[in-house]
Amino acid sequence: MKSGTHPDYHFITVQMTDGTTYQTRSTWGKEGDTLQLEIDPKAHPAWTGGRGQMLDAGGQVARFNKRFGGLSLGKK
């Protein structure tokens, strides 16, 4: 193997949004650095099953349905 081609793999501390921390190995930062998360699996709706809403900005969905609503793609 060539020397100097692999990044430094070391221990860092990850701090969740609620303040809890854990240690993991990473190539991010330097040995002993703390990575502070802004979004994490404990808080973000993508992981917690939060209810999402589809926003119809400017009536685009209604306009699409009005324009193409009668179009049939199936065989007759």
Say what the pTM is: 0.54
In a domain, 74, yes or no: no
Domain that holds residue 19: 1-41
In the three-class reduction of DSSP (H, G, I as helix; E, B as strand; rest coil), residue 14 is classed as strand
Unique residue bearing structure tokens 């939060």: 50
State the total domains in the chain: 1
Q: Which two tokens stand for residue 70?
A: 């009668």
In a domain, 62, yes or no: no
- Residues 17-49 pLDDT 10s: 889 999 999 999 999 999 998 888 777 777 777
In a domain, 17, yes or no: yes
In a domain, 49, yes or no: no
In a domain, 4, yes or no: yes
